[in-house]
Amino acid sequence: MLRRFLVYVVKDVGGRARYAKSARLCNDGDGDVKFRLRYVGPFTKTGLEQYVKYIALIANNGISASNESPESAVSELRPGECVDLDVEYVVDGRISEELDFVKLKMVKDGKLSIGGFQFDAVAEEY
């Protein structure tokens, strides 16, 4: 594995959100690196993860991994090259209707996350 990305969904209580350039993956080595992005799944147990209907890590070179398509195509980074990663997710609006006032306020205030989701950048063998 090259890198692990832990993505927390917070504050957004309905609809689509996209956070551009949320992370960056760089090749600091001497040789080319082939890799793929992989969605691993939730790593938290808040009980609210099911409200995240879609979550993806999207690279600016066109590859992505999501809960709908867990593994990207293989991509390559040359020495010194980097790729920016966007996070995109959709939170079911039912969360605002189904949570009690206190929990909903905690989510909106960022004191309670809806869930945490793991993505890995996995090195491929040549």
pLDDT in tens, 33-59: 999 999 999 999 999 999 999 999 999
DSSP string, 3-50: EEEEEEE-S--SEEEEEEEEEEEE--SSS-EEEEEEEEEE----S-GG
pLDDT in tens, 90-100: 999 999 999 99
d(C-alpha 98, C-alpha 41), whole Å: 23
pLDDT in tens, 68-120: 999 999 999 999 999 999 999 999 999 999 999 999 999 999 999 999 999 99
This model's pTM is above 0.85? yes
Angle at 9 between CA 6 and CA 10, to 5 degrees: 125
Q: Find, among 44, 42, 70, the residue nearest to 57 by Cα.
A: 70
In this structure, which amino acid lies at residue 42? Answer: P
In this structure, which amino acid lies at residue 40? Answer: V
Query: What is the CATH topology of the domain spanning 3-123?
Result: Immunoglobulin-like (2.60.40)
Q: Where are the domains of the chain?
A: 3-123
